[in-house]
Amino acid sequence: MQQFDLQLSNITLNHDVEYLNDILDGVLRQEGGEELLNTFKHFRNLSKALRDDETTNNFDLLNKEIKKLDSRLREKIIRAFSVNLQLYNIAEQNYRIRRRRYYQMQDDTVIQPRSLEEGVNQLFDNNISIEQVESALEKLSLELVITAHPTEATRRTMLRIHQKIAELLKQREYSYTRYDKKVIREKIETEITILWQTAEIREKKPSVMKEVSNGLYYFEKVLFDVLPLIHQDLEDLLEDKYNHRFHVPSFLRFGSWIGGDRDGNPFVTAETTMQTLREHRKLVLSKYIESITKLREKLSQSTKKVNVSGALVKSIADDQAELNYNGWHKEDEVYRVKLGLILRRLRLTSFEDEAGYRDSHALLDDLLLIQESLEMHHPKSNPIKLLRKVIRQVELFGFHLATLDIRNHSGEHENTIAEIFRLVGIAKDYKSLDEEEKISTLISVLEDPRPLISIYDEFSPEAQEMIETFRTIKVAKDKFGERAIEVYLVSMTTSVSDVLEVLVLAKEVGLYRVYPNGRVRSRIHVAPLLETIDDLKFGPTLIKRLFDIPLYRKHIEARGDLQEVMLGYSDGSKDGGNITANWELFKAQEEIHSIAAEYGVKLKYFHGRGGSLGRGGGPLYSSILSQPVITLGDGVKITEQGEVLSSRYLLSDIAYRSLEQATSVMLTSIGGIMQTDKQELMPTEEAYQALSYASDVAFKKYQDLVFGDPDFLTYFNQGTPLNELGELNIGSRPMKRKGSEKFEDLRAIPWVFAWTQARQLIPAWYATGTGLQAYLDKTNNIELYREMYAHWPFFQATVNNLQMALTKADLDIAEVYIEMIGDCEVAKRIFGQIKEEYDLTKKIVLEITQQEELMDHQPNIKESVRLRNPLVDPLNLIQVQLLNQLRLLDDEDQAYTQLLEEVLLTINGIAAGLRNTG
């Protein structure tokens, strides 16, 4: 194994990076002449030399050179570095694909870490029995939800070019002739030229339906094929290892918020949601037609050669009579006949013809009929994988493609309920009632089967839109199936009434009903979203109070005794700092899990993680490992946001790798729970106390700066490109709730995005060092931290994310940003605090991990950051120079528009280099 790892270490990125850089240099020469190329190479070489000089990280020389840069060349230099970073990302992804392939080329003694194969081997080696594996498979549930949160700075047009270059780079490895290599190089040069000649900045914000289209792109090009493959490979690997045929349930699904998330986004309406669902259905039906057409080409068996089932023959006759269509021109090729009839029904379904399929279960029944017949004459030991794949696709995607979650702010529900109650005479001023009065009023309304409103009632536009949203949910479930919309998420849930208000609105449209005998019928999950530190602390009390309400308990029973709870990572970190947010999230999960177990309720946690480290980001498998182990069997649901979509799901091989890592980790964790003889050593009571103490100290340190220092917001607003981010047009949703200028109404995405651009990444690490050091000062017990890091996945993930954040942060570059702050004393004072805390956090992280340098445990990532830095540094320095000039101009000034565009180009380039936006 060590020898193989050594071989892998020699498979570096350098070959692909140098190859692409050479082509880029040629494109730059063609597009801007020797002046552009030589200037770009000068800055690139100087930046690299400064980084390679270990005696100093002084960027004064580079900064002086950049300030002398001719404004004629400046935009092209920005774009050159940006494209260079984009190409580096492509090369790095190709390296990951090559690395996986090298593992697969070895014998079965060399297994890639966190692969499906390693996961299955761990189960077997740990003596997990067949029965225990089957039980673990039943508990296995991972749902990934794509969101429209504006964190993808790269246009989809450019992502498609990236995808094409990646495919060509992969093909290059299999080109053996000089001619093949020449053709591939020419094609890559063409794509890079097109990339250079394509506008990077969106001229206007995307519409919601454009965002829907962008999200569906990943389903169409990657996920529709990769998800079935994960299931199929897991089944095959388990069978090979255990010599037993397992049925792996459809545990891995994707959902979406795009077109359903209306929290703070006035452009998401009831009509938008319905249009989104139509687009989902249109795509999935077209993909089925494509898949089944391929299957028909394959299944050419003839009744002259094989015997088929009588049930299949009868179904064909019934279909032919009903559809008045033969299905296929050769009657003996019965599978082709049946598949032709299936295709006819699918096309009729897309036109909403009554002769089409009533639902996806009917399509699945037809496919299973073919499978059962094939088993009469085809070897069961080698089933037709294409048929298995199509069956799995239907199980996974139904006729809805991806379950659409609906989300809105609790205050919006309260406003609507107040208006309804005032109109019908239930409460003149519902909002002024105390919490107990609200709960009592809401329960009495829920217990009364009579509706409160009619189609003739007139409400304010806001209330009417809310009512139409709930009507749309009911129509969607009736039309597209129950799985089309399953969950209604309540942002900023701070009370029991926030949840009950949603049930009242659901009742008014027929989604919730109490019958005279007391039985409850409910067709929608209501999930509280716990976001701030206070909300997380109150979460267990909230859940217990809800479960103590008999009527709500009946609602839960009607939903299969399942309660979904969403946990927000972004606002918690913004509110209380990284370590406190993570610790409160961990504790809330454990406490809520215990409460649910007492009431016999199953839980599904929905983790609202962002792509960046300051918003709960990190590798997907690490996100899973950081949860309390006992909760993994409940099922895991995680948001996949912004740039995470392109970095994980643009290429099939990368998507497979990310999903197999998550699957392997979940399966082995659930399997490990079943080993009663192997109790977890961590977290011990001492570990709990250590982290609680560290969290309390860190929380005070964080709030003293962010909320206690009167000059902090000045530092943040002036010392980062916060105000310019809103011009980037990367999402339909406004940057702030209701256009408010209050800090608490600033969304977590621009909060994190701005700090990342300024290379400080404060939300991901600030105050953690002080917290950890405080407990160490109190006990002098560094060994406890080291035990926690070695044996507690949550603490290990937290510390490793800290390492990543500290590595991506660069306070030498960050110090340049403080020259934009008007008050020099404020700038120096606050930056000094940040620098002091950075050094302390780095010191204690290295003590805990016993490493010489950050990220020594992941040398590939460490090397990646090292190679990227010389390409990102010039962009940061140019950005500061541009922001200083821009902020002196009036936005009516002619030069303002050009400078702003250049600033936005630097933002895009830095985002590409750090692989993070919000």
Neighbours of 377 (CB within 10 A): 12
Residue 743 is predicted with a pLDDT of: 72
Is residue 623 scored above 90 in pLDDT?
no
15: pLDDT confidence band, cut at 50, 70 and 90? confident
Select the more confidently predicted residue: 300 or 671: 300
- 8 band by pLDDT with thresholds 50, 70 and 90: very low
Taking the chain, what is the end-to-end CA distance rounded to the nearest angstrom?
Answer: 38
pLDDT digits (tens, 9 = 90+) for 667-708: 888 877 666 444 456 899 999 999 999 999 999 999 999 999
The strand pair at 142-146 and 252-256 is best described as parallel
Within-domain flag for 711? yes
Positive or negative, the CA dihedral 843, 849, 853, 854 is negative
CB 567 within 8 A of CB 592: no
Q: Give a yes or no: residue 784 inside a domain.
A: yes
Tokens of 38: 């030589």
Q: Look up the domain containing 835 and give its range.
A: 685-914
Max Cα distance, the chain (Å): 91
Catalytic residue among 139, 389, 507, 574: 574
pLDDT above 50: residue 259: yes
Q: Is the pLDDT of residue 364 over 70?
A: yes
DSSP per-residue letters across 827-880: HHHHHHHHHHHHHHHHHHHHHHHT-SSTTTT-HHHHHHHHHHHHHHHHHHHHHH
For the residues 634-661, what does the mean pLDDT come to?
88
Please write the tens of the pLDDT for every residue from 64-94: 999 999 989 999 999 999 999 999 999 999 8
Confirm whether 745 is domain-assigned: yes
Cα dist from 707 to 357, 575, 755, whole Å: 58, 9, 16
Res. 2: pLDDT tops 60: no
Q: How many CB atoms lie within 10 A of CB 395?
A: 17
pLDDT tens per residue, range 741-790 = 567 667 777 888 899 999 999 999 999 999 999 999 999 999 999 999 99
Distances in whole angstroms, Cα of residue 291 to Cα of each of 190, 294, 333, 388: 32, 5, 18, 11
Q: Identify the weakest region by mean pLDDT among 308-312, 568-572, 607-611, 672-676.
A: 672-676
What's the DSSP call for residue 382? Answer: S
One-letter amino acid for residue 294 of the chain: K
Give the tens place of pLDDT for each residue, 853-883: 999 998 888 888 888 999 999 999 999 999 9
Residue pLDDT, tens place only, 555-579: 999 999 999 999 988 777 888 999 9
How confident is the model at residue 6, as a pLDDT? 37
CA-to-CA distance for 394 and 400, rounded, in angstroms?
10
Name the average pLDDT for the chain: 91
Sequence letter at residue 745: D
Looking at residue 460, its amino acid is S
Q: What does the alpha-carbon distance between residue 577 and residue 95 come to, in Å, rounded to a whole number?
A: 35
Instruction: Give a yes or no: residue 765 inside a domain.
Output: yes
SS3 401: coil
Counted domains in the chain: 1
Q: In angstroms, rounded to a whole number, what is the distance separating the alpha carbons of residues 331 and 573?
A: 65
The pLDDT score that the predictor gives to residue 550 is: 96
Percent of the chain with pLDDT over 90: 73
Q: Residues near 715 by Cβ (< 8 Å), separated by ≥ 6?
A: 818, 821, 826, 827, 830, 831
Res 152: pLDDT:
57
For residue 812, being part of any structural domain is answered with: yes
**Within 13 Å of residue 418, how many CA atoms lie on the same side as its CB?**
14
Per residue, the 3-state secondary structure of 438-502, as one string, reads HHHHHHHHHHCCCCCCCCCCCCCHHHHHHHHHHHHHHHHHHHHCHHHCCEEEEECCCCHHHHHHH
Domain assignment present for 742? yes
Non-local CB neighbours of 542 within 8 Å, separated by 6+ positions: 493, 495, 496, 499, 528, 530
pLDDT in tens, 466-503: 999 999 999 999 999 999 999 999 999 999 999 999 99
Task: In whole angstroms, give the CA distance from residue 815 to residue 669.
Answer: 43
Q: Would you call 149 a catalytic residue per the annotation? A: yes
pLDDT at 173: 83
Cβ atoms of 887 and 820 closer than 8 Å: yes
pLDDT of 918 reads 35
Q: With DSSP H G I counted as helix, E B as strand and the rest as coil, what are the percentages for the chain, rounded to 5?
A: 65, 5, 25
Residue 113: closest CA among 611, 860, 684: 860
Residue 387 pLDDT: 97
pLDDT classification of 3: cutoffs 50, 70, 90: very low
* Mean pLDDT, range 822-828, rounded to an integer: 96
On whether the CB atoms of residues 24 and 192 are closer than 8 A, the answer is yes
Measured CA angle at 669 (ends 663, 675), to 5 deg: 140
Report the alpha-carbon distance of residue 181 to residue 763 in Å, rounded: 46
H/E element holding 514? strand 512-514
Helix pair angle (410-424, 496-508), 10° resolution = 60
692 domain residue, yes or no: yes
**Three-state SS at 509:** coil
Report in angstroms the alpha-carbon separations of 459 from 75, 406, 454, 541, 857: 52, 22, 11, 34, 60
pLDDT band for position 597 (cuts 50, 70, 90): very high
Adjacent-strand bridge partners of 403: 255
Three-class DSSP category at 568? strand
Q: At what angle do helices 334-350 and 360-374 cross, to 10 degrees?
A: 170
| CA–CA gap between residue 138 and residue 132 (Å, rounded) | 10
pLDDT at 54 over 90: no
Asked if pLDDT for residue 616 goes beyond 50, the answer is: yes
Determine the pLDDT at residue 156: 76
Distances (CA, A) of 212 to 147, 174, 258, 736: 9, 36, 6, 22
- SS3 assignment, position 759: coil
Q: Is residue 718 part of a domain?
A: yes
175-215 pLDDT, tens digit each:
889 999 999 999 999 999 999 999 887 778 789 998 999 89
Query: Which residue out of 149, 389, 409, 438 is catalytically annotated?
Result: 149
614 vs 630, more confident: 630
Determine the pLDDT at residue 381: 82
